[in-house]
Structure 1
């Protein structure tokens, strides 16, 4: 099986989640984080052979100003708290097509 991420996407996601857990109390970089969703997406990617997509299995974090249809996007404002966009922004569509998690 060919993988873009050495050791698999799940391992890369776990490393990211561990780093976030260790530092985010100080940094406060994450407005929304869903470890269950990240792990599920990584496991799905790890079950299939890479079809050559450049970001197959690579974990990606996005700023809270970029629309994601499956996660809340508050645009850095309490006025938009809990808002879930109807569609992904173009950059998110491209990341997903490239295989990013």
Structure 2
């Protein structure tokens, strides 16, 4: 997985989350705009969970600037209406963190 992000993106490239993933996938929440805003990380993480079909998981790769995602992200994920299991995976080599969110059938 690449942890870099180009600075010359168009507005269409600003979307972090594609919709309706039919398998497990990873959402890169390590870009500059994520480093600048914890609220942006939470918003995009919720979108990533919403885009993940039941029976699969999404790895949320978060920027190191906000620290351990268990301290700021997990409560926001628990507040969603979908049945989820959230687990901390590890730190990335780049300093970020990986949280795996399993989405269950309703």
Fold conserved (TM > 0.5)? no
TM-score by length of 1: 0.26
Counting helix residues as a fraction of each chain, which structure ranks higher?
Answer: 1
Bigger strand share: 2
TM-score w.r.t. the length of structure 2 is: 0.25
